[in-house]
Amino acid sequence: MRRQVLGIVGAAIAVSLTVPGSALARAGDRTFAETYPAATALCLRATAHPATLGRKLEPQAAAVIAACQTLDNAFLPLVSTVDAAEAALLNTIAAQKLLVATACPRPVPTSEKAACQTARATAHTTDAAARSTRQTAVTAFHTAIEANRTTFWSTISSLRSTATTA
């Protein structure tokens, strides 16, 4: 038994050391700067030191800042949507656990077994629906993050090429 426990603890430590913390992060847990590190660096340079943008982007500093603001403005609503779905899931699970606990006292009397089974079935389907809603929100979050990233860098690329052709 002791060897088993030591083996499990060892495996848990090995996993925690090999898996980066970012792989365990939930959708919406990262800040704007952590989500878009390269874009954040470019935006900081455009805002604080436009001369460091390079010869192609320096004349377009205002457009770069506008693209940064567009990317930033789209981020918080995405995080809020995922947080709301997570909160709804946790509230649903808590409410269903309470309903099951109420319908299924220990030990369950024979006369209440049907009500207990119904409460458990309802909890299962309700929790599954809430999990599905949360998963849909997480998928939409990741899709929108990548779409916003692509749009931002496409805008920056077009600004660079506009400076080249102008």
Using the predicted structure, report yes or no on whether residue 15 has a pLDDT greater than 80: no
- The whole-model pTM stands at 0.76
pLDDT bucket at 28, cuts 50 / 70 / 90:
confident
Query: What separation in angstroms does the CA of 22 have from each of 27, 29, 33, 34, 142?
Result: 10, 9, 14, 10, 14
The pLDDT assigned to 19 comes to 46
Question: What CA–CA distance (Å, rounded) separates 64 from 158?
Answer: 11
For the ranges 23-27, 28-32, 94-98, 104-108, which has the lowest average pLDDT?
Answer: 23-27
Which domain covers residue 106, as residue numbers? 2-165
What is the domain count for the chain? Answer: 1
Higher pLDDT, residue 43 or 1: 43
Non-local (6+) Cβ contacts of 53 within 8 A are 42, 45, 46, 60, 61, 64
The pLDDT assigned to 45 comes to 94
